[in-house]
Amino acid sequence: MAIQNKVSLPVIKRLPKYYRHLTNLSVDGKEKISSSELAHMMGTTASQVRQDFNCFGGFGQQGIGYKVDVLRAEIGKLLFGDGERLPTILIGAGHLGSAVSSFISRDTNGYTLLGVFDINPELVGKEMCGVPIYPLQELESFCNEHHPIVAVLCVPRQSAVDLSGELVRLGIQGFWNFSHYDLSVEYPQVTVENVHLGDSLMSLGYRLRNPTEE
pLDDT in tens, 47-90: 999 999 999 887 766 567 899 999 999 999 999 888 789 999 99
For 150-176, the pLDDT digits (tens) are: 999 999 999 999 999 999 999 999 999
Give the three-state DSSP class for 151: strand
Q: What burial class does residue 164 get, using C-beta atoms within 10 Å of its C-beta: 0-12 exposed, 13-18 middle, 19+ buried?
A: buried
> Residue 2: which pLDDT band, with cuts at 50, 70 and 90?
very low
Confidence at residue 6, expressed as pLDDT on a 0 to 100 scale: 78
**What one-character DSSP code corresponds to residue 61?**
B
Q: CA-CA-CA-CA torsion for 199, 201, 203, 209, nearest 10 degrees?
A: -150
Q: With left for phi above 0 and alpha for psi between -120 and 50, is residue 84 left, alpha or beta?
A: beta
For 93-126, the pLDDT digits (tens) are: 999 999 999 989 887 678 999 999 999 999 999 9
Confidence at residue 175, expressed as pLDDT on a 0 to 100 scale: 96
Confidence at residue 66, expressed as pLDDT on a 0 to 100 scale: 92
Confidence at residue 213, expressed as pLDDT on a 0 to 100 scale: 65
Quick one: average pLDDT of 5-22?
91
Structural domains in the chain, CATH included, are 9-78 (1.10.10.10), 86-199 (3.40.50.720)
Q: What is the average pLDDT score of the chain? A: 90
Confidence at residue 24, expressed as pLDDT on a 0 to 100 scale: 96
pTM for the structure as a whole: 0.86
